[in-house]
Amino acid sequence: MCTVNKILEETEDRVAMAEKLYPGPSQFVHLHNHTIFSPLDGVATPDEYFDGCKLRGHPAFAITDHGNLAAIPDAYFASQRTGVKQIIGEEIYLMITIQNCSN
């Protein structure tokens, strides 16, 4: 946890500096994000993402893991804890099969 806390402190410093340079809107919302429940693609837990959104003042965050909704329970509790709105999504893949309709 020491490393995570150090990263958060450094991030807070960078966010404060960025806010001074660009005091733009904080209403930005990420809509395509993968958690550790997307193998080989996600890098953080729902808790880590929601903490980062709260730190940056984002009002909401979407989780769109590959082919599953496994992160939703963790995201729900992180959303309740941080006050950042949870947007539920999923990245799915469809395959359309054309069947031979001749008799």
What is the per-residue pLDDT across 15-27, written as a single tens digit (0 to 9) for each? 677 667 665 556 7
Q: Is the pLDDT of residue 31 over 60?
A: yes
Domain boundaries defined on the chain:
40-97
Q: How far apart are CA 95 and CA 68, in angstroms?
A: 17
**In the prediction, which pLDDT does 1 show?**
47
For residue 86, what is the enclosing H or E element?
strand 85-88
Q: How far apart are CA 30 and CA 65, in angstroms?
A: 13
Phi/psi for 62 (5° steps) reads: -105, 140
Q: Is the pLDDT of residue 102 over 70?
A: no
Q: How far apart are CA 75 and CA 62, in angstroms?
A: 9
What is the per-residue pLDDT across 38-65, written as a single tens digit (0 to 9) for each? 988 999 999 999 998 988 888 999 999 9
Q: Is the pLDDT of residue 72 over 70?
A: yes
